[in-house]
Amino acid sequence: MSPWHHGLLGYGQVAEHYQYEMPQMLKDLGYHTLGIGKMHWHPQNALHGFEATLIDESGRVESPYFMSDYRKWFNTEAFGLNPDSTGLKWNAHGAKIYALPERLHPTVWTADRAIEAIKGYTSDQPLFLKISFARPHSPYDPPQRILDMYQGRNIPDPVIGNWCESLPKSAQPERTPEAYSGNFGTEYARNSRKHYYASITFIDEQVGRIIEELKKKGMYEDALICFVADHGDMLGDHYLWRKTYAYEGSAAIPYIIKLPHSRKEVLKAGIPIDEPVELRDLLPTFLAINDVEIPEAMDGMSLLPLIEKKDHLWRKFIDIEHASAYWQNNYWCALTDGKVKYIWFFLTGEEQLFDLVHDAGEVNDLSKDSSFQELMESMRKAMAEHLQERGEEWVKEGRLVIRKESLLYSPNYPDNKRNK
């Protein structure tokens, strides 16, 4: 579902129940459903159709007596040690080497639990296994041996747009280690990036271990594997850190699909698909591969026609949005097809336009460039059409309306008391 249709528009709580839930729908189709790693739900032990979850919540405790499965395991495996010994909080963008033995790292724990689940699987039921690594989300804390792979490598500098001088900025990272914005210098950003890249390489290793176990078990050939992320990280681009932004560092994610080998007429491995796809397309794909009709209310689309070279009609744009976060005017909706991106800021009426083909770093805002005004007008029209269903507080007489306040939960959020 789109943000408006599932109801959560920013930093709020995932509802306890939804009409469509991926684990529940797959369980209803006969799958054994198992979730391992970070879930970030509320309540934290909610299942949404998983028969079991083994949770790593990066230290979050949102209810009395909750302790994640990772922390329980740590207290039995390494009692007397502190799982937070590295000293970085989960939103800090400083970087350090993991202070404990590598086998205790949450990234290894998550992979180990997944490998155990695969190795011990004896059921005739198909398996739906969600493996959710908490990293590379901060803290950026890879083991030393992984960071050593980046010794002497060229770490790119942050990209700074010609439009971002007016953004709020913090200074002195030692005083603001979780700052959402700040010019902390190129060396600081390069160091954070190096540790972030190493954290990704560390995950790549663990994914490799999981795939090897699937092959040993004879499950790989018939497996549908989807490798995605929930968001990226700005890592100092445009003086921004963390997420919640429409810009590529935050909004663009890895998206790799491997179909079962029994599927016919599949694109050759490694071929990119030049269509705008997103996370909401995963569940419709899972339904389609099980020959189940996709409910009309779902905004997502099955990826199978794209991968299997079949005729298809596809969306023109992906819509993304976020309620106010970090500062009040960071409240926006954007449309992109991967080639151009238009951003509408709800509270100020500001607009941005980027040519992602020739300016992947989004350095040049083209919204006021006279040679792009025809494109600007067409993107405004597309945005108005997208927001039209929300009523006259959003679009009036075909024109975008500047809002007076941010909205965290849409009327479609399952727990409507949050809209009061």
pLDDT of residue 98: 98
Domains in the chain: boundaries: 3-316
DSSP letter string over 303-372? SHHHHTT------S-EEEEE--BSBTT--EEEEE-SSEEEEEETTT--EEEEETTT-TT-----TT-GGG
Tokens matching residue 116: 């155990």
52-55: strand order across its sheet: 52-55, 32-37, 127-132
DSSP letter string over 239-290? GB-SS--SSHHHH---EEEE--TT-SSPPPTT----S---GGGHHHHHHHHT
Which residues in 92-175 belong to E strands, given as ranges? 127-132
pLDDT of residue 108: 98
Distance CA 300, CA 409 (A): 20
Phi, psi of 210 (to 5 degrees): -65, -45
Tokens matching residue 29: 């189709």
pTM of the predicted model as reported, rounded to 2 decimal places: 0.94
- Hey, what CATH class is 3-316 in? alpha beta
pLDDT of residue 420: 41
Q: Could you give the angle at the alpha carbon of 303 between the alpha carbons of 301 and 305, nearest 5°?
A: 105
H or E element: which one contains 380?
helix 373-387
SS3 74: helix
Which residue reads 């909610």 in tokens? 46
Q: Are the C-beta atoms of residues 22 and 286 closer than 8 Å to each other?
A: yes
Tokens matching residue 134: 């908490």
Half-sphere exposure of 243 (CA within 13 A, CB side): 19
pLDDT of residue 418: 55
Question: Alpha helices of 29-176 — where are they, by DSSP H?
Answer: 69-77, 106-119, 144-147
Which residue reads 């059921």 in tokens? 123
Distance CA 133, CA 110 (A): 6
Residues with Cβ within 8 Å of residue 120, at least 6 apart in sequence: none
Q: What is the DSSP letter of 220?
A: S
DSSP letter string over 18-60? -SS-HHHHHHHTT-EEEEEE----SSTT--TT-SEEEE--TT-
Distance CA 163, CA 238 (A): 9
Q: What's the Rg (C-alpha) of the chain? A: 22
Closest by CA position to 146, among listed 92, 97, 218: 97
Distance CA 247, CA 230 (A): 14
Tokens matching residue 8: 């959560």
Distance CA 234, CA 192 (A): 11
Distance CA 398, CA 387 (A): 10
SS3 354: strand
Closest by CA position to 69, among listed 102, 109, 98, 41: 109
- The pLDDT profile of the chain, 420 residues, written as one tens digit per residue, is 999 999 999 999 999 999 999 999 999 999 999 999 999 999 999 999 999 999 999 889 998 899 999 999 999 999 999 999 999 998 999 999 999 999 999 999 999 999 999 999 999 999 999 999 999 999 999 999 999 999 999 999 999 999 988 777 667 777 888 889 998 999 999 999 999 999 999 999 999 999 999 999 999 999 999 999 999 999 999 999 999 999 999 999 999 999 998 887 678 888 899 999 999 999 999 999 999 999 999 999 999 999 888 888 999 999 999 999 999 999 999 999 999 999 999 999 999 999 999 999 999 999 999 999 999 999 999 999 999 999 999 999 999 999 999 999 999 999 755 544
pLDDT of residue 100: 98
Maximum CA extent, the chain: 65
